[in-house]
């Protein structure tokens, strides 16, 4: 198949590229804004038609959660409008699309893991624009998968894991929120699941994916420092109210992964196992 990857310079896009060599049966077209502006409808239609694109994995998104509150137009363009353009273009060809969404489509007010059948209720501009993006993809491409994920990190780009390692090495004390609960996701694990879906065949619908387990940002930071060998920084717990942000963040956004595990027959790694793998990779790269 001819497969288009958007947002190839981001965390997930880079992880996808690492896996492509194991799938030479497909032609991979890795793009970011320089190669293809997905907010330009004519450019998208031309690219998809010219390259005879059979499938799209949309890794591109406006992910600056706080900035989105004051920059709704930019967030809407990239998170809502662009995915619809991609879905419409590949849908015309009878192709498929995998679109990455977020736990922020829920407001986080419940205390049990969210399933795909739970009614979305976003409480931020970011969450609202991502939910609208899901709807557009499903409307214009019937053969589409929406994969909601959470707390994404990798060896690429800027993310919570790399930030906490840097701050842990720079500071003697750090305050981290303890009353927001969720599950980290190693982007490499998510990329593997996407490859599995492509190999087995796209089964349309909404899916949830993160690593296994439940943790707070505070406990996540403690684990990051322990695995990275950082012993000189004291991490103290903060209430959300002590660290106000422009965007509301879900207090509880654990995702139930039963559906994707049963449909694709996959085993999902425990969050600490994947974190250990990522930190080991970062350590090797810095040597």
CA 119, CA 114: separation in Å to the nearest integer? 9
Residue with tokens 């599950």: 183
Of residues 191, 146, 186, 183, the one with CA closest to residue 276: 186
Residue whose C-alpha is closest to residue 51's, from 36, 68, 65? 36
DSSP state of 8: T
Find, among 90, 77, 168, 82, the residue nearest to 125 by Cα.
77
The answer to whether 48 and 1 have CB atoms below 8 angstroms apart is no
What distance in Å separates the CA atoms of residue 123 and residue 106, rounded to the nearest whole number? 7
- How far is the C-alpha of 60 from the C-alpha of 83, rounded, in Å? 9
Starting at the edge strand that comes first in sequence, how are the strands of the sheet with 2-6 ordered? Answer: 27-30, 2-6, 55-58, 96-102, 144-149, 205-208
- Compute the distance between CA of residue 188 and CA of residue 18 in angstroms, rounded to an integer: 9
Identified catalytic residue from 62, 104, 126, 218: 126
Does the annotation count 126 as an active-site position? yes
Token duo for residue 1: 């198949």
Q: For the chain, what is the radius of gyration of the CA atoms? A: 19
| Residues labelled catalytic | 126
């Amino acid at each position: 198949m001819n497969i288009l990857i958007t947002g190839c310079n981001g965390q997930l896009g880079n992880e996808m590229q690492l896996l492509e060599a194991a799938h030479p049966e497909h032609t991979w077209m890795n793009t970011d804004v320089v190669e293809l502006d997905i907010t330009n409808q004519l450019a998208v239609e031309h690219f998809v038609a010219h390259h005879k694109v059979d499938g799209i994995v949309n890794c591109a998104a406006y992910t600056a959660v706080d900035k989105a509150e004051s920059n709704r137009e930019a967030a809407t363009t990239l998170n809502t409008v662009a995915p619809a353009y991609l879905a419409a273009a590949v849908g015309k060809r009878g192709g498929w699309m995998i679109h990455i969404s977020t736990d922020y489509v829920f407001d986080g007010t419940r205390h049990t893991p969210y399933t795909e059948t739970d009614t979305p209720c976003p409480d931020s501009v970011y969450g609202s624009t991502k939910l609208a993006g899901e709807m557009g993809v499903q409307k214009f491409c019937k053969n589409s998968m929406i994969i909601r994920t959470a707390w994404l990190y990798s060896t690429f780009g800027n993310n919570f894991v790399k930030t906490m390692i840097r701050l842990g090495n720079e500071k003697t004390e750090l305050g981290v929120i303890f009353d927001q609960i969720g599950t980290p996701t190693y982007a490499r694990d998510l990329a593997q699941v996407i490859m599995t879906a492509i190999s087995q065949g796209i089964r349309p619908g909404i899916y949830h994916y993160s690593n296994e387990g439940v943790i707070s940002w505070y406990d996540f930071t403690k684990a990051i420092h322990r695995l990275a060998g950082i012993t000189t920084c004291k991490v103290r717990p903060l209430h959300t109210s002590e660290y106000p942000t422009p965007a509301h963040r879900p207090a509880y956004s654990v995702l139930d992964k039963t559906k994707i595990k049963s449909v694709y027959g996959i085993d999902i790694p425990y969050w600490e196992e994947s974190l250990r793998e990522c930190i080991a990779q970062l350590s090797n790269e810095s040597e």
